[in-house]
Structure 1
Amino acid sequence: MADLAHIVGGDLQLGPSGDLAVVGGDDETRQRVLHRLLTSPGTYIWQLPYGAGLPALVGGVASRQRIAAIVRAQMAYEVSVAAAPEPSVVLAGNRIGAISATITYTDAGSGNSQVLTLPIGG
């Protein structure tokens, strides 16, 4: 089932005929994963454990192991991400402390392997 095309932090997207765009397949899963990772825990009162809250880690003190564990736990909750093979999380940092995460996962619907890289903080 298709979802509205919306990337966290942006506006709803318009389709070619001026109506609201929809997204499905691998793009929908990517959108869902981004939403889950960028949403703060406790934001949804009907599903309190939803969300990794990665933006809250910017400027804070968090070990790479803790960040990777948070991401892996949230990826395990996401039904559109296949449980096997288990998603992998690789964190990389630079000299000034900026960290980025490269997450490799399999889309449960299509079976396609996907790679998502996003900045965590620093």
Structure 2
Amino acid sequence: MTNPGDYLFHPEYGAGLGKKVGDSVNVNEWKALILGQMLLEDSVATTPEPTVTLTLIDMGVSCSIQYTDAVSGTPATLSFDVTR
């Protein structure tokens, strides 16, 4: 949900989903944004690649990300909703 420019000392950080609130949902674009950001995180293993699932919900999108912790090798899930 972090937008680029939100963090003063890391202006390039963020996928920019917060700016998408209220826009039409382009599932492929959103998945690419989320996956791209996840792969930049040191704590996320690149193999296996994270899996991003988007589901349309009333007034928004529900997002579920399955990934592997890079340090422990433990599978993890991150879920959140992007609503208008």
TM-score by length of 2: 0.86
Identity in percent: 38
**Aligned counterpart, 1:49:** 12
Q: How does 1:1-122 map to 2 (within 5 A)?
A: 38-94=1-57, 96-122=58-84
Gaps of at least 5 residues in structure 1 are 1-37
Indicate the structure with greater helix content. 1
Higher strand share: 2
CA RMSD of aligned residues (A): 1.7
Pick the structure with greater CA Rg. Answer: 1
Q: Structure with the greater relative contact order (CA < 8 A, sep ≥ 6): 1 or 2?
A: 2
Map Cα deviations across residues 15-47 of structure 1 (whole Å, 9 max, x no partner): xxxxxxxxxxxxxxxxxxxxxxx2211233543
**Counterpart-to-counterpart distance in 2, 1:87 and 1:53:** 18
Code of the residue aligned with 1:49 in structure 2: it is: E
After superposition, what is the alpha-carbon deviation per residue over 1:1-26, rounded to whole angstroms, capped at 9, x for unaligned? xxxxxxxxxxxxxxxxxxxxxxxxxx
